[in-house]
Chains A and B, each alone.
Chain A
Amino acid sequence: MNLILIFISAAIVNNFVLSYFLGICPFVGVSKQLSSAVSMGMAVTFVMTIAAAVTWLIYHLILVPFQVVILEYVAFILVIASLVQLVEMFIRKVSKPLYDTLGIYLPLITTNCAILGLALFATLREYGFIESVVYGVGAGAGFTLALVMMAGIREQLELADVPKHFQGAGITMIVAGSLALAFMGFAGLLSV
C-alpha cells in the first residue's frame, strides 16, 4: 500500500477525529485555545508514532508466535500507558521547557482512544512495520489538524452570540459536525 496514500488517508480523507470519532475527549476538552491545541497535537503525534511501532512489534513478535492474541487489548493498553509514562519522563529530562508547555496533557494521552484505536486499526489492516509507523504519523497529523481547526474556530466563537443552551459542549458538537461535513468533501481526493 502506497505510503503516501496511507498518510493522506489517515490525515485527511479518513481523519481520526472527524471520520472515526477517535480522540473526541481531548478534541472537546483541549480545543479552547490554539496554543494548547498545538501542544496536545504534537504530543499525541509523538506518542502515536512510537505506539504504532511498539504495538506492531509486540503483536507480531510476541502475541502471534505464542498464540496469545486474546491478550491483545490488555497488552496494547499496558504498552500505551507505559509509553506515555516513559515519554513524559523522557521529555522532562531532555527539554524542560517543552515539558512545561505540554504539562498535564501528557498523562491524559493514555485514555485518548485515538492511540489505542490507531494500534487496533493498524493490526486489523495488517500493515507492515513501516506502514504502521506512517499510519501513526498520519493519524497524529490529522488529529492535530482537527484540533487546531476546532481551536481556531472556538477562539472566534468567544466573540459570537451563541444561544444560551448551546454554549459550551453543545456548540462545540455542532461545529464539529460542520467540520466533519466539510471533510467528507475530501472523499474523492484520492480517486485514481
Chain B
Amino acid sequence: MANHKVTRTREFVKGLWDENAVLVSLLGLCPVLAVTNSAINGLAMGLATTFVLFSSSTIISILRKLIPHQVRIAGFIVIIATFVTIADRFLAAFYPDISDALGPYVPLIVVNCLILGRQEAFSSKNPLGRSMLDALGVGTGFIGVLVVLGSIRELLGSGSVLNFTLLGDWFAPWMVMILPPGAFLTLGFLIALSNWINERRAEA
C-alpha cells in the first residue's frame, strides 16, 4: 500500500542515493558494466533505461487493478519488452552511432532486474503520480552512476571525457579501463566509496 507519510519529493529523491539501484541494491549491473566505457555511452544507456522504466511504471500503475495477480509477471514483461523495442528502434533510426556503440545491451534492458523489480515492488501497488516519481528518481540515480562510471573509465582509459581530451600526451592511457576488468574494478571502488560516504553521513 502507498505510504502517505512519504512525501512526493521523497519518492523521487530516495532513488538518487539511499535506494540507488546500482550502489545499494546491486540491480541492473549487466548494462552498467558493459556500456560505461565512455561517458556518452553511459549517459545514453541511462536515458534509454529511464525511458523504459518511466513508461513501464506509468502504464503498469494505470493498469494495476486490471492485471490479474497470477499473470502479472508475464504482463509486466510484455509491457517492458514493448518499450525496450520502441527505445531500441528509436536509437537505431535517429542516433545510429549510439545504437552501434550500445549494441545488444539495449534489448537487454528487458531483463534489467531493476525495471521488473520496481514494477513488482512499487508501480503495481501505488498510484500513478507516486509511481512516476519513483521511476524518475531511481532512473536518475541510475543515470548518475552510469555517467560517473563512464567518465572515470573514459578518463583513465582514453584520456578524455565526453570526447573532450582532458589529459595530454603525457598520459599513457590505461587500456584495461575500457576493457571488462576495468569495469569491475571501477565499480568495486565506487561501491566501497559509497559505503564510506554512508558511514560518514551516519556518524554526522
Contact = CB atoms under 8 A, between A and B. Distances in A.
Direct contact of A and B (CB under 8 A): yes
Interface of A: 18-25, 28-29, 70-74, 77-78, 81, 110-113, 115-117, 120-121, 124, 163-166, 169-174, 176-178, 180-181, 184
28 contacts: A21-B34, A21-B180, A22-B30, A24-B29, A25-B26, A25-B29, A73-B85, A74-B82, A77-B78, A78-B77, A78-B81, A81-B77, A111-B113, A113-B30, A116-B110, A116-B111, A120-B104, A165-B196, A166-B192, A169-B191, A174-B184, A174-B185, A174-B188, A176-B188, A177-B180, A177-B184, A180-B179, A184-B180
Nearest to B187: A173
Contacts of B73: 81, 110
Interface residues of B, number: 42
A165 B187 contact: no
B26 A73 contact: no
Q: Across the A-B interface, give the 4 residue pairs with the lowest CB-CB distance, nearest first.
A: A173-B188, A177-B184, A177-B185, A181-B181
Given A124-B104, A177-B181, A165 B195 contact: yes
Given A21-B180, A117-B104, A165-B199, A74 B192 contact: no
A177 B174 CA distance: 14
A74 B81 contact: yes
B107 A120 contact: yes
Interface in B67-88: 73-74, 77-78, 81-82, 84-85, 88
Interface of B: 26-27, 29-31, 33-34, 73-74, 77-78, 81-82, 84-85, 88-89, 104, 107-108, 110-113, 116, 176, 179-185, 187-189, 191-193, 195-196, 199
Contact of B111 (A74, A78, A112): A112
A184 to B, nearest CB: 7
Contact of A74 (B27, B78, B176, B183): B78
Question: Chain B's interface: helix, strand, loop or mixed, by majority?
Answer: helix
B84 A73 contact: yes
A163 B192 contact: yes
Given A70-B89, A78-B74, A81-B77, A21 B110 contact: no
Point out which of A73, A116, A174, A177 has the most chain B C-beta atoms below 10 A from its C-beta.
A73
A21 B29 contact: yes
A51 to B, nearest CB: 12
Contacts of A28: 26, 29
Nearest to A15: B180
A73 B33 contact: no
A73 B188 contact: no
Nearest to A172: B188
Contact of B77 (A20, A77, A184): A77
A70 B93 CA distance: 13
